[in-house]
A and B are shown apart, each in its own frame.
Chain A
């Protein structure tokens, strides 16, 4: 049977067919759909773990328990998970263990662009890189055979180009493998008491030698002979782009990209006149080929940031294209009038209301400047104009620690009020230890935990505070306000952010509090898990003075109308399709010109 599948769906399917029994992960673009698809299989236990480190711990435990396990995250998540992952890479596995990490090339939805291929080298483990949906499925299944045969976790790395592309996939059947029994007395998972870490290190290098021999003969590394004047080494989605532009060249297509197949690379290099590497981001393959003493070009023909587009490839390989007699057609220029359409906070989003309240508070306290340490979530959109709310955002849960550190740095400077801004999912992910740290060490900051009842940025996934699991089961939710109290916060305010006066007052009190204070505005996301919409509001045109107060909310539903006041000011209007009826704008209108009657 053939089906068109998203790369991420194909990975889930591959895991299913390989008999995987435990799947764990934390959402992050572009990896999120893998877990969502895995959650649909009854045969697989799957969960959104509280963060990637915990997900990794759970997957390792499952492997020790003798089943095949998969652990899924995005590039930034791998940084979090690397702590427990590093040792297990040296110790080995019991049931097959596959780590999927997806790199957000182009940083579509990330604070950084990161090439996690380098981790394969650091971890001393094999890495497989599919280049389309069919390979995504096939390589996932292969990864389990490699894992168990070589006693190692396996790294399956994808990028947006594979994760969020679709292709035709041939389906297979699920095969439950016979799993090795776990011996609780096995010395290999007990450093110091069992195998000494230095011995583990030696073993990891010996294993790499055997893996390299495998890389030289596996079919997923293959030579496609063509014109031998040009030899191209490539992998993942860049392979697809360059294969299309230069189908007549000779190719060494790599699916198994760490450790590299040195003998195969030498064989290929010896038979082509010029050798090129086509890869995205860091010169990962190129540097290793250079270390083999071979002459190769690549890095000098491309940029390091962003996806390797066909246009960039044609520019970089212009000389090669000419040599092979390929003419370039000059495309049309892009239209100058195509103004930008940036992603924005949605109409009725709680962050719009909280940001507005903070701005209003700032206006009222001229002697103190509010500085906000941001975090990772929808509210990161508040970094950009017109909001300009957050001063930083670098890793999940880091805003609270940064706020604490910043307040210590300015040591008692009462001219500044230090805020940390974080969401519910991010707070549970990595914000809790930071809050504990700030409380115990007597910081004086205000933490806003904007609780929209979901992991909104990545598409509305469930978490421990929602009361729903990945499998759709209902479990008792954790209560963030209780967590804060248990961590020792004495000043906690729960508010409805749609209630402007109360929100403003809670923020004012929290900022004035000497110590760690927390404000928790709670209002469900209007988009996820289901769309929420109430009767739209409208502007009573006769009453509108065109003061622009409602426009300062930056709600996408509030627009400038064509109508003008006697003084020539443009009146406001509300788009009834976008308005979700949150009432916030009606509360801040100074002349009561907004109503839903």
Chain B
């Protein structure tokens, strides 16, 4: 029973859109007939803190929380957060890493050093890392805020939901004036790896 549940951990820094992305994924899973549970951090995480959002779906889901070593996919909006949550991955899990850095206060004030090359560090540990420059893609589309939809496009390649289902939910969730750019962002993310 434990194994039939899919676990996607979406992590980022407050304001990056990780929560919205996890909402869209949850809706896609529910529309596909699954039971869905989700857990997220509220309160202080809004003030520059870490934002982990757990999404779980399957025939019947009990706990809303993904345990250490249970995530099928960790979708990291930021490098340091990818590093922080990498041990949540299953042995055969996959880390999607957005190559974007947001410096914590302890780095800007000189107490800590931001880690050098997160993707290589994790690969050396035997983790399958898919690294993408989603912010670059979002910038090219004309709005850096759609980075989260680009990342959902990348994620969609690793989950068994049709592109139609994803786009249907995006259409429903995103306000009309941002709809087209988000659909384009999703598509750009979806084909990002295919084009190298």
Contacts and interface: CB of A to CB of B under 8 A. Distances in A.
Contacts of A244: 1-2, 62-63
Given A166-B36, A334-B87, A559-B108, A345 B64 contact: no
Contact of B41 (A164, A247, A340, A342): A164
A551 interface: yes
B35 A339 contact: no
Given A29-B42, A168-B30, A344 B48 contact: yes
Given A338-B84, A342-B104, A342-B106, A166 B65 contact: no
A166 B38 contact: yes
B46 interface: yes
Given A109-B43, A341-B48, A346-B48, A560 B108 contact: yes
A385 to B, nearest CB: 9
Given A164-B41, A339-B112, A340-B106, A331 B87 contact: yes
A542 interface: no
Interface in B114-143: 114-115, 118, 121-122, 125, 127
A31 to B, nearest CB: 11
B62 A240 contact: yes
Contacts, number: 171
Interface in B24-78: 26-27, 30, 35-50, 61-65, 67-70
Instruction: State the majority secondary structure of interface residues on B.
Output: mixed
B174 interface: no
B145 to A, nearest CB: 12
A318 B19 CA distance: 34
A584 interface: no
A87 to B, nearest CB: 32
A378 B61 CA distance: 36
A310 interface: yes
A337 B125 CA distance: 13
A291 interface: no
B149 interface: no
B27 A4 contact: yes
Interface footprint category on B: 35 or more
B26 A554 contact: no
A278 to B, nearest CB: 12
A458 B43 contact: yes
B195 interface: no
Contacts of B23: 4
A346 B47 contact: yes
Nearest to A164: B42
Interface in A232-246: 237, 240-241, 243-245
Given A166-B26, A346-B48, A459-B46, A338 B80 contact: yes
Contact of A337 (B40, B43, B83): B83
Given A343-B47, A346-B48, A331 B68 contact: yes
Contacts of B89: 332
B86 A343 contact: no
Interface residues of A, number: 55
Contacts of A333: 87
A109 B50 CA distance: 14
Given A4-B30, A30-B42, A310-B63, A132 B37 contact: yes
A186 interface: no
B65 A339 contact: no
A541 interface: no
Interface in B172-190: none
Contact of A339 (B40, B46, B49, B107): B107
Given A339-B114, A556-B105, A332 B86 contact: yes
Contacts of B97: none
B196 interface: no
A329 B69 contact: yes
A335 interface: yes
A381 interface: yes
A588 B119 CA distance: 40
Nearest to B61: A167
Contact of B39 (A164, A337, A556, A558): A164
10 contacts: A4-B27, A164-B40, A241-B65, A244-B1, A310-B68, A330-B69, A335-B84, A337-B115, A337-B121, A342-B48
Given A4-B36, A343-B49, 8 more contacts: A4-B38, A161-B64, A166-B40, A241-B62, A310-B65, A331-B69, A346-B48, A459-B42
Closest 8 CB pairs of A and B: A331-B69, A310-B67, A165-B64, A338-B84, A109-B43, A343-B44, A166-B38, A559-B108
Interface of B: 1-2, 13, 23, 26-27, 30, 35-50, 61-65, 67-70, 80-81, 83-84, 86-87, 89, 91, 103-110, 112-115, 118, 121-122, 125, 127
